[in-house]
Amino acid sequence: MQGIKDKIRTIPDYPKPGIMFRDITTLLQDARGFRKTVDEMVQPFAGTRIDKVVGIEARGFILGGAIAHQLSIGFVPVRKRGKLPSKTLAQEYQLEYGTDAMEIHIDAIQPGEQVLVVDDLIATGGTAEAAIKLIRAHKGVVIGCSFIIDLPELGGRRRLEALDVKVLSLCEFEGH
């Protein structure tokens, strides 16, 4: 069987010139590749109590839902501002030009719950950092972050590790 990295399609100049978009849909449509990905994203946390999985919009919902199902635990979405229907807590983060915000329902995480954060890719780490801060604002404990792809030159891993968070990625790609 091919490796996980081999199943990820690269689309040049999407969504704008100079960007090498890492498309995981080719990985997700392969049943064995998808299963292997989910297994490998959670395996390093085996033996650790995990109460909830937080998935970051949008591909983190697919992966986080599958991981939560595998572990028989709850799933919590972290979404862009204005997308969640009930009362939320927001955390702003920096974009290249300006700011945006991620939100979580105010009742999503209980104090002391152990949480695994999941997304498809870590680049600058801004959205993952916002998710971590939202979990910690609820007095939840972030036991780690799990990603399929790391773009190391953009510094996201270092940013999260500076927050004292364990970071797992299954493969690295150069360029962005």
Q: Which residues are catalytic?
A: 59, 96
- The CA angle 11-172-56, to the nearest 5 degrees, is 75
Q: Provide CB contacts within 8 A for 24, sequence distance 6+.
A: 8, 59, 120, 121, 148, 149
Which residue in the block uniquely carries the two structure tokens 């955390």? 91
Tell me the residue type at 137: A
d(CA 93, CA 174): 24
CB atoms under 10 Å from CB of 91, counted, come to 21
Q: What is the DSSP letter of 79?
A: E
Helices (H), 43-143: 59-71, 126-137
Which of 90, 88, 52, 46 has the alpha carbon at shortest distance from 73?
52
